[in-house]
């Protein structure tokens, strides 16, 4: 029974938008089991509704997946709690915003709001997965895992190079993660997609554990000019979602446009130092 359960995940992982249907022989070869075992697995998944058997013995994901997805959306607080913050961030800056978690050594994008500028980054689709070493959200999520867990995650496969800027050395990535922990944010400077930059911050639960990451994705040509503004905004957004998850109620926030010529102001609150000001909604 345990061996059967352990094979269910690899079978479901085969189905993607690029290859939505599979045959028994193909599944057997892909997961390395006899054809009879693959057929038994597929039949069991059809019975539970996770798969459906189509014409000519081809299998696709079943509608039970949709039901489970809706259940997940209703029970996972972080997506619902984060949504208003993501929406405001996208509206204020006009840039694409992502929400991601770490799932099976990969970044899983669970929400996305596109920017509204004339030239924006399309970003990845909701449900897409990516290796964590090449993205800002991935670095944030890795940086707050234990060293032993990071080593295990990095041992799954070599660090794949996506662009000339991608970090492919485990030692260099370890150094980068230390900087992320110290700064409280992470950057992706064209490491996943050339000419695209990102900045990300952690989202913590009520126990202080990092459970998700939020990011702004911006064309590199526009990123550097607003780098500090984006950095402050994403840190404050991550803090606000974290406080909402912990049960705290925050006032509505708006972005402060800094005057570069002005020095620090006395009596500035931590949120204001992060680039946000509380605005009364009364």
Q: What is the DSSP string of 261-277?
A: T--PPTT--HHHHTTEE
- Residue 111 structure tokens: 């929400």
Tens of pLDDT, residues 88-146: 999 999 899 999 998 878 898 989 998 887 566 666 788 888 889 999 999 999 999 88
Instruction: Tell me the angle at which helices 147-154 and 170-183 cross, rounded to the nearest 10 degrees.
Output: 140
**CA neighbor of 211 nearest in space, from 131, 65, 108:** 108
Output the six-digit token pair for 234.
């994403």
Enter the pTM of the model: 0.64
Question: 184's torsion region: left (phi>0), alpha (psi -120 to 50) or beta?
Answer: left
Q: Where are the domains positioned within the chain? A: 2-67, 76-250
Torsion angle, alpha carbons of 139, 151, 161, 186, to 10: 10
Of 181, 180, 198, nearest to 189 by C-alpha is 198
Domain 2-67 architecture? Orthogonal Bundle (1.10)
Q: For tokens 């060293």, what's the residue?
A: 147
The string of pLDDT tens digits covering residues 46-83 is 988 899 998 788 999 988 877 676 556 554 578 889 99
- pLDDT of residue 261 exceeding 50, the answer is no
Residues 29, 47 contacting (CB under 8 angstroms):
no
76-250 has which CATH code?
3.30.450.40
Q: Which run of H or of E encompasses 78?
A: helix 77-93
Token duo for residue 218: 């911006």
């Amino acid at each position: 029974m345990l061996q059967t359960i352990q094979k269910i995940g690899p079978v479901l992982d085969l189905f993607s938008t690029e290859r939505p249907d599979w045959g028994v022989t193909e599944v057997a070869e892909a997961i390395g089991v006899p054809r009879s075992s693959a057929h038994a697995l597929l039949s069991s998944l059809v019975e539970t509704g996770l798969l459906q058997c189509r014409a000519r013995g081809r299998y696709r994901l079943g509608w039970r997946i949709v039901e489970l997805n809706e259940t997940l959306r209703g029970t996972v607080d972080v997506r619902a709690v984060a949504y208003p913050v993501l929406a405001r961030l996208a509206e204020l800056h006009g840039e694409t915003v992502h929400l991601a978690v770490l799932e099976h050594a990969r970044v899983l994008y669970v929400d996305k709001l596109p920017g509204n500028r004339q030239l924006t980054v399309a970003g990845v689709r909701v449900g897409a997965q990516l290796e964590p070493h090449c993205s800002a959200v991935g670095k944030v999520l890795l940086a707050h895992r234990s060293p032993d867990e990071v080593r295990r995650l990095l041992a799954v496969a070599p660090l794949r190079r996506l662009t000339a800027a991608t970090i492919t050395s485990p030692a260099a990535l370890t150094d980068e993660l230390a900087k992320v922990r110290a700064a409280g944010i992470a950057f992706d400077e064209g490491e996943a997609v050339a000419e695209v930059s990102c900045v990300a911050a952690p989202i913590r639960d009520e126990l202080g554990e990092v459970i998700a990451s939020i990011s702004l994705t911006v064309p590199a040509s526009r990123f550097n000019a607003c780098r500090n503004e984006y950095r402050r905004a994403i840190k404050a957004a991550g803090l606000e979602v974290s406080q909402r998850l912990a049960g705290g109620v925050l006032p509505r926030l708006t972005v402060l446009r800094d005057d570069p010529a002005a020095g620090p102001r006395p009596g500035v609150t931590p949120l204001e130092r992060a680039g946000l000001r509380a605005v009364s909604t009364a």
